[in-house]
Amino acid sequence: MLPQNLSLPFDNITAIVVVATAVSTIILYNVYTNPLSRLPGPWYTKWSSGILKYNIIKGTRPLYVHDLHCKYGKSSSKPLYDFGHSYTLLIFAGSIVRVSPTEVHVSDIAATKKIHNVKGSFKKSPWYRLFTPPTVLNVFNTSDIEFHRNLRRLLSSPMSESSLKHVEVFIRRNIDLAVKGITEEMSQRGAGDVSKWWMFMATDVIGELSFGESFKMLESGKKNQYILDIEANGSAGGIRGTFPFMVKLSNVIPLPALKAAAASGKRLREYAEQSIVRSKRVAAEMESCPMLLKKLFRSDENGLSDKDIVDNAMLFIVAGSDTTANTMTYLTWAVCKHPQVRDALVEELRSLPPDFTDQDLRGLTCLNNIIKETLRLYGAAPSALPRMVPAEGVEFLGHRLPGGTTVSTQAYTLHRKSEIFPNPESFEPSRWTNPSKEMKDAFMPFGGGSRVCLGLHLAEIELRLATAIFFRTLPYAKVSTLDDMNDGDMDPRIFFVLSPKGKRCLISRE
């Protein structure tokens, strides 16, 4: 018997018993009754998503999920992922795996097609709403099919290939400025940080084409508060989506990281609002202004509220900046790491006229193979694309998934299926010279179906022009070792968008 001063009140004992019983019931249900408990996956994912969330915080979720596919999928292989230290990426991915009591991941191509079918019934998961502040509703996070269709109708035309031909001169001007900045930095310090300059380029392009006014990052050559806010917003999004209660908690307890993230989000919104005010004025004064979002600003035609316009303007600012910039960073690094690939590209580029256009680049085999291979290994969004199984349920690979289950696909794993991409971790652009049907089907760096990235044509034009201009200007570029730059700086950190861990990529001349 406990001493009197240590005894627990009856009400407290009752509360403890009730809580313990509830927790035990949930665990037992998830282990023995939950339909997902029969799927392949580690034992702890039957009742907990803790390890998954741990990897989300670290920016390694796609790597962790990929390893689960390798170990528990139909084609198994021993994973070498060790939760935080050195790791070896695996090469043979399976097809279906349980990652939490309520979520499964699929890497089967047929299942992926069904999930992302244009006319399919797999709606976006509520997670996308958690990824952004609760009041924001845009073409990225909405699960409302009609709302998405209306927004996409407004945005798809100005982002089409034919429309973008008219703004190529603006894109090229910014790329020329970026390469000039890289070259000057090489002369000044021995190496240029292409990660920084590609970010400035992509930011200025999306600013000028979306709002009729450049952010002038390339002119200053320095990261300003706007760039810092974009970087902070990207990292915070994953945490917000994984631990939404922490956002609410930060309103009561001032957690420094979340407080800073909230402040950056607020500044980005204010900048979007200011940009829209200026854009409406410019659109009214200059009918010929190459403004991709001009239709959004005509509220009398599209019926969008000012809030709707701001929500989507914020999306364009963020999505149009670090995605293309990070892809170009990895492309530059990968090509410079492989001199034979670089030399073949440089030789191909010599055939271009001095005043070449994007149209001239579309037929260049080596250049386009390099871009595809970069998007395969280092695409900007290799993370999970969660969808909700419709009410009637679905069967994938012999496993019945009940309605309401979260089912995700990720390009990271699809792009590393060794039965489709031999030596999947090797940077081999030549594999795309004669791609198989399976390669084309598995390739989804911009997502798929009706929710495929709206900016894919803009990104492709930027990638083609930036690659050609950079390697024509710097044909003997190589990865620098200045300031202890090494391959570890390029290890991926993926908070939905992929970026290099070292936040830099130093390139010099031979």
Annotated binding site for heme: 453
DSSP 256-317: HHHHHHHHHHHHHHHHHHHHHHHHHHHHHH-TT---TTHHHH-HHHH---HHHHHHHHHHHH
Can you tell me the distance from the alpha carbon of 206 to that of 209, in angstroms, rounded to the nearest whole number? Answer: 5
| Annotated binding-site positions | 453
Helix 194-211 and helix 322-337, axial crossing angle in degrees, nearest 10: 150
The closest alpha carbon to 134, from 14, 251, 48, 8, belongs to: 251
The distance of Cα 483 from the centroid of its chain, to the nearest Å, equals: 28
Q: Which residue has the tokens 């890497």?
A: 107
What does the block give as tokens for 43?
């034992």
Q: What are 102's two structure tokens?
A: 């309520």
Closest of 448, 430, 447 to residue 368, by C-alpha: 430
HEC string of 371-400 equals HHHHHHHHCCCCCECCEECCCCCEEECCEE
Query: Pick from 200, 151, 156: which is nearest to 292 by CA?
Result: 156
Is the separation of the CB atoms in 107 and 115 below 8 Å? Answer: no
User: Which residues is 408 bridged to in the sheet?
Assistant: 105
Contact 301, 190 (CB under 8 A): no
